[in-house]
Structure 1
Amino acid sequence: MYPLKFKPILKERLWGGTKLKDVLGKPIDSDITGESWELSGVQGDISEVANGPLEGISLKELIVDHGEKLLGKSVVERFGTEFPILIKFIDAKQDLSIQLHPNDDLAKERHNSFGKTEMWYIMDADPGAKLIVGFNKNVEKEEYIHSLEKGTLLELMNYEEISEGDTFFINTGKIHAIGAGTLLAEIQQTSDITYRVYDFDRKDKNGNLRELHTSLAVDAIDYELKDDFKVAYANKKDVVNTMVDCPYFKTNFLDLDGDLYQDISKRDSFTIYMCVGGEATISNDWGSAAIKRGETILIPACSSNVNINTHGAKLLEVTI
């Protein structure tokens, strides 16, 4: 139960670019890779261990074989053998579609899936890069439908300028889009359910417009104007800074100039470290693994401590 690294699952996307390769060093030949799935339990895209004696073993096999030792007792009680979160790095060379995700109840009813609450940490942003997050005013359902029919949806959108370190929490029902020129880390519920409502009339490589989910989205959207998405968090050096604490995941920010030791014996959950800057070596009771910007490590729940050795690293620490 040493610190586990996993093979990235790389996804070409219409809007993808080369930053996952050029900036984060992912093993990519394509010029349109948009996503690196770092840790996934999504059916058909199950992560495999990349280091140590367990190399080649799937995350699903690890959960079946090690259960509570890997995930934690409370996590197994809630999710069984399902891994509850999906960890990604995303490179948007072009704007992503305007979309939203259903809540747990709607996703269960329609797709037998979890909903998709997510958060973004901005790792790099080109000058002028923006996100779309929510509406710029309270909107009636009929007004939204009319804007789709007239092609004026963009006039209702709220635009947020971004820079490195900005963090956003995207709850279910909130309409959103990642803008061109953005490299980010994403933490989300394990779900691939997305309702795409506008795609800038783009065509895929075969000349086809991508599918829209207009009717499904109408009853899933939160039409109310809410300023609840920009995460304000402390950024104190060499300590654990809370970013997001929601029912689906907890994320802390670690900006380290030196070593950090943590007793995690009472933490009834696995711990994930996403490196968003610098490099470090992360150790637990049974071993260690090196991590650099753009890499991810899973610390099993049975670990009693974690020791981070570094001369400079920025890490997202994720637990359930």
Structure 2
Amino acid sequence: MKLYPLLFDPILKERIWGGTKLKTYLNKTISSEITGESWEISTVPNDVSVVNNGTLKGKNINEIIALAPNEFLGTSVVERFGKQFPLLFKFIDAKEDLSIQLHPNDELAKKRHNSFGKTEMWYVMQADENSRLVVGFKKDSNKEEYLNHLENKSIVSLLNEMPVKKGDVFFLETGTIHAIGAGVVIAEIQQTSDITYRIYDWDRVDANGKGRELHTELALDAINYSKTNSKIEYPTLENKSNEVVDCPYFKTNVIPLQGNYSWTKRQEAFTVLMCTEGQFEFVYEGQNFIIKTGNTILLPASIDGIEIKGSATLLEISI
């Protein structure tokens, strides 16, 4: 099998809190007024990404991995995860506040759901004036204090609400209570998992007066009650691969591109590039690729590098 840079059909998700920025800001083809998520690369069951370019068009990512695991994933990834694709990439548009939630760690997720845990990071692509995120506790708390405030619907008073702007990054370890606030568009990189414990949903109800399911009991043993420092400061040197997050599950760098850049990658692992602003292009074996804001492209492990050019901000993610 001949591998090459791969683009995938986005998997679009309507959400009660979604809006239209995935269309107006990220150029996704949507007609809904409440599209909240674009899953860019996914192997979550029933939401497996399908290639939309080249000779492999129409094949899903699991089919390709099954045929060429080392060439696609890379030897170091196969050693750790077998033929499982370990990450999930999303763009998220929050027209309204998301629920206050958290995710279990690997141990709990495996025990309860036969799933990976969900360590994740957010890169803020756009933020309306006065928008904010909810990330962790203001101070160290405990289960008793938490439950008391949850029952009194005053849980927000315990939590850290942070104003945000374009370019802000937050690294969310499992157990960290969090919520994306209204008016924010983010790129999200996470472990392959769709396990979320929702603890508070702003007392929202649907057209039938019914609120969404909460996971109060499941969350109790999954929460990190300590104050956390989740905001990441990072360098932004032009035409450099600047380290943002390096954790056991993924490594994310930011590349502020202006002009030409000889981009190289390790052949032990695949790499994903998410374009968060601007546009860049490159030629690979005679094929021209033009990648714009809101596009995500996967470079299989067997590809060792490309010469890119343009004016853009890129997230470079590997393992």
| Runs (5+) with no aligned partner, structure 1 | none
* 1:221 match: 223
Read off the aligned partner of 1:267 and give its amino acid letter.
Q
The answer on whether the counterparts of 1:285 and 1:305 sit within 8 Å (CA) in structure 2 is: no
Shift, 1:288, TM fit: 4.2
Q: How many residues align?
A: 317
SS at match of 1:74: helix
The answer on whether the counterparts of 1:3 and 1:287 sit within 8 Å (CA) in structure 2 is: no
For 1:58 and 1:51, how far apart are their aligned partners in 2? 12
For 2:223 and 2:117, how far apart are their aligned partners in 1? 13
Which stretch of the first structure deviates more once superposed, 76-85 or 104-113?
76-85
* 2:273 match: 273
* 2:7 match: 5
Does 2:158 match 1:156? yes
* 1:102 match: 104
The percentage of counterpart residues that share the same residue type is 55
The answer on whether the counterparts of 1:4 and 1:289 sit within 8 Å (CA) in structure 2 is: no
- Cα deviation 1:39-63 (Å, max 9, x = unaligned): 0011100000011111111001010
SS at match of 1:91: strand
The answer on whether the counterparts of 1:20 and 1:33 sit within 8 Å (CA) in structure 2 is: yes
Equivalences for residues 99-248 of structure 1 within 5 A: 99-227=101-229, 229-248=230-249
Scaled by the length of structure 1, the TM-score of the pair is 0.97
For 2:296 and 2:72, how far apart are their aligned partners in 1? 16
* 1:319 match: 318
Scaled by the length of structure 2, the TM-score of the pair is 0.97
- Cα deviation 1:196-234 (Å, max 9, x = unaligned): 00001111244311000000000100001122x111100
For 2:49 and 2:143, how far apart are their aligned partners in 1? 40
Does 2:297 match 1:297? yes
SS at match of 2:301: coil
SS at match of 2:6: coil
The answer on whether the counterparts of 1:253 and 1:315 sit within 8 Å (CA) in structure 2 is: yes
Shift, 1:165, TM fit: 0.3
Which stretch of the first structure deviates more once superposed, 181-190 or 201-210?
201-210
- Alignment RMSD: 1.1
Q: 1:299 to 1:283 in 2, by over 3 A?
A: farther
Does 2:33 match 1:31? yes
Read off the aligned partner of 1:241 and give its amino acid letter.
N
For 2:79 and 2:282, how far apart are their aligned partners in 1? 28
Q: 1:9 to 1:206 in 2, by over 3 A?
A: farther
